[in-house]
Amino acid sequence: MTLVWRPGFQFDADASNYIEAVEAVDTQALETGVRYAINDFVIGCKNDGIWDAIKASCILAGARTTNGALVPLVGDAPNPYNFDLVGDTDYDRKTGLQGDGSTKYLDSNRNNNADPQNSNHLCVFVTAVNAGGGSRQVIGKGGTTGLPGSTHIVMADTLIGQRSRSNMYFILSGLGNSTGLLGISRALSSSFNYRHGGVAGVITNASQAPSEGSVQVYASDGVASCSDRLAFYSIGESLDLAALDTRVSALITAIGAAIP
């Protein structure tokens, strides 16, 4: 079936395929406004030249069920661990999926070394932060103990400044509790870009050969550490974080507005 929103205009093929897959899992149609939001997002990413860089991604909002939200926008579907897939108690259609800081995480099925050493990104969109305190990992591979070649993003309760560890592939920590896009992208061997809460910057930190293993969301190496609520994640090659921020922010806002 080809989705149509007005005479003479057809949905983008990738957006249409994704919407149909979500609706098949949900066993009911999405609201028209949710469909439009997804279509606008995909077309916008293509217009911005960032679509091809996204190799694994889920929109963790908009779908009617948790299982629907775990249908991949791009790449393989993640494996969910310990989330409620029947009662959907961990999932909110407007704001996304929430971890528990203990046992719940997603295995993205995207290997940490699948993308080039000097062309890669990790991003999540945070809609609600952990109120329980401490540091927590939102996405990555390799833990927080300095494993060479690891790739991950850590959030902490207070803004203590962005920093890097020399034995990390790349890491951001001490980012505070801002919501919105949280991302890192490397296009050079000597440095990487970050974006968080609309603030952008560059950190000088030499790349290392990435370690092997699947990137996880809410966790690292099977140890869950994040109870924040996330509405989107993406993994892949380097891209324009500002452009992705604009597109994902508009997507999540539009989804929230379209759902009664």
CATH code: domain of residue 95: 2.60.120
Print the domain residue range for 33.
4-258
Total domains in the chain come to 1
Q: How far is CA 245 from CA 14, 159, 181, in A?
A: 20, 20, 6
Q: What is the CA radius of gyration of the chain?
A: 17
Does residue 2 have a pLDDT over 60? no
Does residue 171 have a pLDDT over 70? no
Which residues, other chains included, contact 44 with Cβ-Cβ below 8 Å and sequence gap of 6+? 246, 247, 250
User: Which tens digits make up the pLDDT trace of 108-126?
Assistant: 999 999 999 999 999 999 9
Q: What's the pLDDT at 132?
A: 58
Does residue 82 have a pLDDT over 90? yes
User: Which tens digits make up the pLDDT trace of 26-65?
Assistant: 999 999 999 999 999 999 999 999 999 999 999 999 999 9
Q: What's the pLDDT at 64?
A: 98
Q: What's the pLDDT at 159?
A: 44
Q: What is the pTM assigned to this prediction?
A: 0.92
Which residues, other chains included, contact 157 with Cβ-Cβ below 8 Å and sequence gap of 6+? 133, 134, 135, 176, 177
What are all long-range contacts of 2-6, with beta carbons under 8 Å and residues at least 24 apart?
3/35, 3/39, 5/32, 5/35, 5/36, 5/39
- CA nearest neighbour of 232 among 140, 126, 80, 92: 126
Helix or strand (DSSP H, E) at 236: strand 229-236
